[in-house]
Structure 1
Amino acid sequence: MVTLITNILLRYRALNLPILYFVAFLTRVGFGVIVIAFPHYVTADSLVTGIVLSIYPLFEAVSAAPAGMYVDRHGRKRVLLFGLTSITILTFLLGLSRDTLFIAVVHGVMGVSAAAVIVSTLTMITDLTKISDRGVGMGLFDLANIAGYAGGILIGTGLYTTFEASPSYVFFTTTILLLIATILAKILVIEPPHERLTAPLTFNFFRALSWKIKSLLPLWFVLTTLVGIAFFIPKALSLGGFSVEESGLLLFAGAAGLGVGATIFGRISDKIGREKTMWIGIVGMLILLPTLALSLSPETNPDYPDFGAYLYVIAPSALMVSALVPSILALVGDTARSTLRGSAMGLYSIMLSLGIAVGNVVGGASGHIGGLPAILYVAEGLFLAAVILKLLLSRLGGNE
């Protein structure tokens, strides 16, 4: 009888990772709806919209490190449940008013919830994977993450079109989805086995990272800045003449491609190494951004608003870009101390949050000055600078 119960528990534990991916997928669907709907929900100009969007990641940045420390000391699941429960409530509150100050505050506090969700989820995935399969593990998470966003963008487009006269119902509908994710996490997700941190409390978060990972921080920061810029793209597309439906479909196609590519390159990173895979993504990004800028300007693309011949460059380079996230996250998981995995993921979440905040403002300011092409050219400059800085830091570490 004891053997039977043990076997059942082991099989159930083996399902923990797929269950976690499914919960992450449902949560990101909710986030995706908010991504497409929120910029249109804000009744302000481009610059103010960018500032309102930036408050969320700033709150996330402040709370990511405490979330990581709590995860290391007290466990993963309770932090995940806190994040899911609170973001469900806050999404409901978001639909109660379109007052700019009110939604800025509510949306900002949602960043605390997001930090709890992302730090606990990434730490659990690190616990449940080994070096030999962590790349594909992070790739599958990125697939669930991006597929959720892509599905949410598509659903959000439909919801916003349906409830355009009463957009609050978009957020009320999203609340139901997030509530389902919370209930599933409460019932099905189990705490993975891991070492608990018992050392004295410290705020030196960098001790959880090797020099190799520290040298990647500028690149990760700018990469997340590009994510923040991407959050502004729906409004930039609408200002450029695209409808909500067209911008939603365009973002859905891009996100879906990145999600599938992340799984492929996650497995590749398990075979050829994290850094080699990461460089595939870097080259892809350096090609993708200026090509997109050229294709989205009627002055340089005679087929605008279609991509025309530029599509033959955009498609493969976008696939290459999907190598970045799984290879970097797997590298962090490989090198972080087992008792400081939460802190390591917390630090990377801080960079994620700050990058998104900067990206929101940069996207808003660039869009205000020169529209979508200007946004993409600025993004290219930032990314190129980050690559150069990463190379310099890597050389400095090699000389030590």
Structure 2
Amino acid sequence: MANQHSAATALGLRANATQFALLVAINALVGGMVGQQQAVLPLLAHAEFGLSGYTFLFTYVAAFGIAKATSNWFAGTLSDRYGRKPVLLAGWLFAIPVPLMLILAPDWSWAIAANVLLGINQGLTWSTTVIMKIDLVGPAQRGLAMGLNEAAGYGAVAATSLLAGYHAEQYGLRPAPFLLGIAYTALALLLSGVFVRETRPHALLDAGNIASRGASARHGRDAKLSNRQIFSLTSFREPALSSASLAGLVNNLNFGLSWGLFPLLFATADLGTSQIGLLFALYPGVWGIGQMFTGALSDRIGRKHLITAGMLVQATALAIIALGSGFGGWAAGTVLLGAGTAMVYPTLLAAVGDVAHPSWRGRAVGIYRVWRDLGYAVGAIIGGIVADLVGLNAALWMAAALSVAAAIAVAIRMYETHPPHPRPTPAGDAPAMLPRDHTNP
């Protein structure tokens, strides 16, 4: 199989630099669709719709998270069955109404409906760009690839959030911030439809390389796993995959909580809209830039300890934000939260790519992202309830405690999926049906 595809395709970042760079740019547009509303929509809810209850206000984050989590499953399944590019294009079609609905919304239900469509857009497009980059680069540079992918996406979240906050302060909450989304969607449809090429042949080449290394019998059985078996392994049974799913859920619980809570918390100090936008941009900004380094670092030192440390850094950052009362303390906390998230985010995706067989990698990534993005909804709902009943700071302390618990779970259960130097797999370290495949050159 390797010879069949090698003439037309090659694995590696350098060999696929043009397509990889194009997908990085598209994922930046994906992130920008979220950034257009993050700092603005909670303020819009208060100013124009008179919403004050945290639980009700966070419904738009929950709607987004549930829709995104569900569409991640379809992104992985459909991309394995029909190819990556059709799923990417379909995801951008769902984005078309989103900014228009937010501009024209007569009541809050429109904002919730727009976030359902945005969640579908994010699940289909972001998942697919992740899968396509893993396809292109092969096993040796997965961490670097995921770092660049997530850096582009969350860097664009930060930049667009800052830009949207500026436009909201200068020109009003509507329509100026959401005009960015219209431009992003039009550009993404053009790039995805005309210039992106299908990457599924690269996954087939990777699968052929695995067989040629003498693992064909075991991996051949892996290639025939059912959707139910893949879901079970990724969610519960396989130690590395299921640990990644848990850590991803808690990581996005923190992000979902921050999305709905941070603008309201920062507004208690009578900060201006642009200052709130800056504070909110620091978190994904540091997160985005940091991933350019942490993803590559995980290729050198491994995944497990970087994930464990990153969850503990996030817990520390949430505690600092809970104890803060002004711009300086909150800025320090959001910067640290971004750093901790950067340690975790691309590393978890790389770990999933390490363990999953290329023939069902898309589905494994999709299932991992189902659990991870359910964190948006869990954080929004639980955080909103705790904030309503006890206060904003109590919701932050809850998230900090959950981050510590996730770090402990990873430290105990996850094995190292990508050591800096290949070594024999310890007996019993992973289920026999899913052996680890260390492919460092």
For each residue in 1:345-387, what CA deviation from the matched residue of structure 2 results, as whole angstroms up to 9, or x when unmatched?
1112211221101111233233334554323211111112223
Tell me, which stretches of 5 or more residues in structure 2 are unaligned? 1-7, 208-222, 416-427, 432-441
1:356 to 376, 396, 417: 376
Q: In the alignment, residue 329 of structure 2 is paired with which amino acid?
A: F
1:333 aligns with 2:353: yes
For each residue in 1:280-302, what CA deviation from the matched residue of structure 2 results, as whole angstroms up to 9, or x when unmatched?
313322322212222x23xxxxx
Q: Which residue of 1 aligns with 2:316?
A: 287
Counterpart-to-counterpart distance in 1, 2:185 and 2:165 = 18
Q: Which moved more, 1:75-84 or 1:360-369?
A: 360-369
Counterpart-to-counterpart distance in 1, 2:164 and 2:354 = 36
Give yes or no for contact 2:311–2:406 (8 Å, CA) kept in 1.
no
Q: CA deviation at 1:167?
A: 1.2
Give yes or no for contact 1:237–1:372 (8 Å, CA) kept in 2.
no
1:96 to 104, 109, 119: 104
Counterpart-to-counterpart distance in 2, 1:150 and 1:228 = 15
Q: In the alignment, residue 306 of structure 1 is paired with which amino acid?
A: G
Structure-to-structure mapping, 1:1-400, within 5 angstroms: 13-42=16-45, 43=49, 44-45=51-52, 46-164=54-172, 167-192=174-199, 193-195=201-203, 202-206=227-231, 209=234, 210-232=238-260, 233-294=262-323, 296-297=324-325, 304-307=326-329, 311=332, 318-394=338-414
Give yes or no for contact 2:26–2:188 (8 Å, CA) kept in 1.
yes
Give yes or no for contact 2:68–2:370 (8 Å, CA) kept in 1.
yes
SS in 1 for 2:127: helix
Q: Which moved more, 1:202-211 or 1:64-73?
A: 202-211
TM-score, L = length of structure 2: 0.79
Give yes or no for contact 1:60–1:115 (8 Å, CA) kept in 2.
yes
TM-score, L = length of structure 1: 0.86
Counterpart-to-counterpart distance in 2, 1:13 and 1:390 = 33
Q: CA deviation at 1:258?
A: 1.8
Q: In the alignment, residue 85 of structure 1 is paired with which amino acid?
A: L
User: How many residues align structurally?
Assistant: 382
Q: Which residue of 2 aligns with 1:300?
A: none
What RMSD in Å do the two structures reach over aligned CA positions?
Answer: 2.9
Counterpart-to-counterpart distance in 2, 1:384 and 1:36 = 27
Q: In the alignment, residue 181 of structure 2 is paired with which amino acid?
A: T
Counterpart-to-counterpart distance in 2, 1:208 and 1:72 = 17
What percent identity do the matched residue pairs reach? Answer: 24
Counterpart-to-counterpart distance in 1, 2:158 and 2:79 = 29
Q: Which moved more, 1:236-245 or 1:48-57?
A: 236-245
Give yes or no for contact 2:304–2:411 (8 Å, CA) kept in 1.
no
For each residue in 1:295-340, what CA deviation from the matched residue of structure 2 results, as whole angstroms up to 9, or x when unmatched?
x23xxxxxx44329x94x8756753442111111111111111011
For each residue in 1:72-115, what CA deviation from the matched residue of structure 2 results, as whole angstroms up to 9, or x when unmatched?
01100111111112212333233221312232123213222221
